[in-house]
């Protein structure tokens, strides 16, 4: 067997509406409903299913809880413009633009937290 790609992952959150405001409204991710009252954030060819804590769908992670994720998203646009836009939206940034190494090579990144305290890295390939 060979794993080809990541299809989706699940993010457990305290409050789905608050998370949708952040991921959809602040970060601009596409929000889609599916199945019976389920919701997902679409990012490129992948999606993030949202589970509200206490309402997880079985089977689920053995210790699913809000605030334990550390995610890096590649963005379009200039990182400096994104930084200023986030500041205008009163989003607290954890540090300025820094250089890192992503899956495909060097990246420039900004760090922030979502409403549950998950670490979000917004990155642009160099």
Domain ranges of the chain: 8-56+66-125
Note the pLDDT of residue 14.
97
Number of residues in the chain: 126
Arithmetic mean of pLDDT, 50-66? 90
Catalytic residue among 52, 78, 99, 121: 121
Note the pLDDT of residue 57.
85
Arithmetic mean of pLDDT, 23-36? 95
121 is catalytic: yes
For residue 66, pLDDT over 90 is answered with yes
Q: Please give the CATH superfamily to which domain 8-56+66-125 belongs.
A: 2,3-Dihydroxybiphenyl 1,2-Dioxygenase, domain 1 (3.10.180.10)
The Cα–Cα gap between 31 and 48 comes to 10
pLDDT band at 71 (very low <50, low <70, confident <90, very high): very high
Arithmetic mean of pLDDT, 46-56? 93
Instruction: State the number of CA atoms in the 13 A half-sphere of 119 facing the CB.
Output: 12
pLDDT digits (tens, 9 = 90+) for 85-101: 999 999 999 998 999 99
This model's pTM is above 0.75: yes
If you write DSSP's letter for every residue of 40-61 in order, what string do you get? EEEETTEEEEEEETT-PPSS--
Note the pLDDT of residue 37.
87
């Amino acid at each position: 067997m060979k794993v080809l790609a990541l299809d989706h992952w699940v993010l457990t959150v305290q409050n789905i509406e608050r998370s949708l405001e952040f991921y959809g409204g602040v970060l601009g991710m596409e929000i889609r409903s599916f199945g019976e009252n389920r919701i997902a954030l679409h990012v490129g060819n992948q999606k993030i299913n949202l589970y509200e804590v206490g309402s997880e769908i079985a089977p689920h992670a053995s210790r699913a809880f809000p605030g334990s994720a550390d995610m890096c998203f590649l963005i379009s646009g200039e990182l400096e413009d994104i930084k200023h836009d986030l500041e205008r939206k009163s989003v607290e940034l954890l540090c300025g633009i820094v250089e890192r190494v992503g899956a495909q090579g060097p990246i420039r990144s900004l760090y922030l937290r979502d409403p549950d305290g998950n670490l979000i890295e917004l990155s642009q390939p160099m």
